[in-house]
Amino acid sequence: MSVRILALVGSLRAGSHNRQLAEAAVKIAPAGTDVQLYEGIVDVPFYNEDIDVEGSVPAAAAELREAVARADALLLVAPEYNGTMPAVLKNAIDWLSRPFGAGAIAGKPVAVIGTAYGQYGGVWAQDEARKAAGIAGGAVLEDVKLAIPGSVTRFAELHPVEDAEVTTALTAVIERLAEAGSAA
């Protein structure tokens, strides 16, 4: 049986380098591992406990929860916006954390990766995403990291899947996440 990894990308821009990184993960997933890019994150409303009521949860939020529940593991791909993770990714984590203690992310292996223009590759955003996912109940793989600096120049004419260094590191991340997902 294939290990299912669901990738959530914190950038909504079609040409995002972080989206391209997630696309690379889909393409290079080793045999026995299925990485799927979740497309519905843009439609999830901001978390509001008043609308998170059993029987009337917004469809986009319910679909996100169901997709994560079906996955064996999560790959969060976090760009860095003003030194932290983007609101769309934090919002997804918030929806996945509920109901408290039993949300779709509870106990789910989570790895966080990303790329950014700066010299550190978005490590602040990735650290914040790890923190939020862990508090939400995810089993964050703290030692599984991939921060790629200089995205604007590095990927100006090259898709991440065409970068041997990136695909080697990304493959290692997917393998570790798949290992954790198969054990969960």
Q: Which two tokens stand for residue 33?
A: 């591992």
- pLDDT for position 156: 92
Domains of the chain by residue range: 3-183
Residue 12, pLDDT > 90, answer yes
Residue 102, pLDDT > 80, answer yes
- pLDDT for position 101: 86
- pLDDT for position 184: 80
Residue 100, pLDDT > 90, answer no
Residue matched to tokens 């570790």: 176
pLDDT digits (tens, 9 = 90+) for 104-124: 999 999 999 999 999 999 999
Residue 1, pLDDT > 80, answer no
- pLDDT for position 167: 97
CB 133 within 8 A of CB 100: no
Q: At what angle do helices 123-135 and 87-96 cross, to 10 degrees?
A: 20
**DSSP β-bridge partners for residue 110:** 74, 140
- pLDDT for position 56: 93
pLDDT digits (tens, 9 = 90+) for 41-99: 999 999 999 999 999 999 999 999 999 999 999 999 999 999 999 999 999 999 999 99
Query: What's the pTM?
Result: 0.97
Pick the closest to residue 145 from 113, 177, 109 (CA basis): 113
Nearest-angstrom CA–CA distance, 50 and 82: 29
pLDDT digits (tens, 9 = 90+) for 119-168: 999 999 999 999 999 999 999 999 999 999 999 999 999 999 999 999 99
- CATH homologous superfamily for 3-183? Flavodoxin domain (3.40.50.360)
